[in-house]
């Protein structure tokens, strides 16, 4: 095992361990990592001695902060297409994880955002800790939740997913469990013992039993107590109407949500709302990923992704200048353009599922 590799692979007993290994970049995913993870899953599925896969992140800060968006920005500025190839393979990986036939245990400890959600929250066994901060923060960089995130958020109870999609807010363990982004809470100090128990497991049933043995009740979250205003405000027809309802509601947290939303990319907000609502009507993760690839392909060529990454990651001035600058200026036709079929460039996962 080369400790410089961006994905570390090793086997303990009958458990195959996959470790995202770019700790200085908070394990942000690049194309090489996606391809290596896909290859590792193929190998683990074919190897009859392997009963489960465990995904972890190197370092102390988190599993994965998302995709390498600085590289995506550089690619967009150069007029390249490498990012589209990256997303194509990343979304295939997300679908592969969701249908992996053996237990796929993701330790969602620390920061888990964007692409990090994609490689963990589609797994069969998703574990959060008191350090977990789970988010799909794409609207803040002029992008739209992807990696199957619109399906995950669309399936959350009530309008919780819409709230998280538009605000990009990060949630802790209890709220991740409430929203269906995770399955079990294990205190971080118990993770070494849990890993030891997993490594001692010789069957899938023993893997599941080990997780159940260490799982306990998560400390209280915040979203359950906010359901009243969230479920009242977010069913509105448009982002403008949602913001108006939030502003008019008496709850201070609702007003804060409104302020958070209006600071995001107007185009990304409108496309995100439509994407989450369409995702609820689609019948498979693969169909949602196909839709997200269309959206991502269009967003990649727009001005807001480049500007959002500049403001948040490159210059870090936190002062993006969106184009257009207001929700009112984003037309229905512009939103619809993000969902147009791509012809020969379609991702085609749903078609493959039917074949």
CA–CA separation, 1 and 140 (whole Å): 37
* 234: DSSP letter: T
The tokens describing 71, both together, are 């590289």
* 110: DSSP letter: B
Confirm whether 315 is a catalytic residue: no
Catalytic residue among 114, 115, 123, 140: 115
CA–CA separation, 62 and 110 (whole Å): 4
How crowded is residue 317: how many other Cβ atoms within 10 Å of its Cβ? 9
Of the candidates 97, 150, 105, which has an alpha carbon nearest to the alpha carbon of residue 126? 105
The position carrying tokens 């620390």 is 110
| Alpha helices (runs of H) in the chain, residue ranges in sequence order | 31-46, 69-77, 82-98, 115-118, 149-154, 160-167, 173-178, 191-199, 204-214, 227-233, 239-248, 252-262, 266-281, 285-300, 303-309, 332-337, 349-354
The tokens describing 48, both together, are 């009859």
Catalytic residue among 57, 62, 66, 67: 67
Catalytic residue among 68, 90, 109, 146: 146
Angle between helices 239-248 and 252-262 (to 10 degrees): 150
Dihedral in degrees, nearest 10, Cα atoms 171, 175, 179, 183: 110
Catalytic residue among 75, 90, 109, 138: 138
Q: Phi then psi for 180, rounded to 5 degrees?
A: 80, 20
Report helix, strand or coil for 241: helix
The position carrying tokens 């994905």 is 7
Confirm whether 118 is a catalytic residue: no
CA–CA separation, 92 and 100 (whole Å): 12
Confirm whether 146 is a catalytic residue: yes
Confirm whether 123 is a catalytic residue: no
CA–CA separation, 258 and 80 (whole Å): 35
* Catalytic residue annotation: 67, 115, 138, 146
């Amino acid at each position: 095992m080369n400790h410089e590799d961006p994905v570390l692979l090793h086997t303990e007993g009958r458990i195959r361990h996959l470790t995202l290994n770019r700790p200085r970049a908070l394990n942000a995913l690049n194309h090489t990592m996606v391809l290596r993870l896909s290859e590792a899953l193929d190998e683990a599925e074919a190897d009859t001695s392997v009963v489960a896969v465990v995904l972890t992140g190197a370092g102390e800060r988190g599993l994965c902060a998302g995709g390498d968006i600085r590289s995506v920005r550089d690619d967009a500025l150069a007029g390249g297409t490498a990012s589209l190839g990256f997303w194509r393979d990343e979304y295939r990986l997300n679908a592969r994880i969701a249908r992996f036939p053996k237990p796929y245990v993701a330790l969602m400890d620390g920061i888990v955002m964007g692409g990090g959600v994609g490689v963990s929250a589609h797994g069969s066994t998703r574990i959060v800790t008191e350090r977990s901060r789970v988010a799909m923060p794409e609207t803040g960089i002029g992008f739209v939740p992807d990696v199957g995130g619109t399906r995950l958020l669309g399936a959350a109870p009530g309008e919780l997913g819409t709230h998280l999609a538009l605000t990009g807010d990060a949630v802790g363990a209890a709220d991740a469990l409430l929203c269906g982004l995770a399955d079990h809470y294990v205190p971080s100090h118990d993770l070494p013992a849990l890993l030891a128990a997993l490594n001692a497991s010789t069957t899938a049933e023993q893997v599941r039993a080990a997780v159940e043995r260490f799982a306990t009740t998560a400390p209280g979250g915040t979203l359950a107590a906010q359901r009243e205003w969230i479920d009242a405000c977010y069913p509105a027809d448009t982002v403008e109407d949602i913001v108006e309802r939030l502003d008019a509601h008496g709850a201070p947290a609702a007003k804060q949500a409104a302020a958070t939303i209006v600071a995001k990319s107007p185009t990304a907000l409108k496309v995100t709302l439509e994407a989450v609502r369409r995702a609820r009507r689609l019948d498979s993760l693969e169909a949602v990923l196909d839709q997200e690839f269309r959206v991502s392909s269009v967003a990649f060529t727009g001005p807001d992704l480049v500007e959002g990454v500049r403001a948040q990651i490159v210059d870090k001035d936190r002062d993006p200048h969106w184009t257009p600058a207001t929700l009112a200026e984003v037309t229905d036709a512009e939103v619809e353009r993000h969902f147009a079929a791509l012809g020969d460039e379609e991702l085609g996962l749903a078609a493959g599922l039917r074949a």
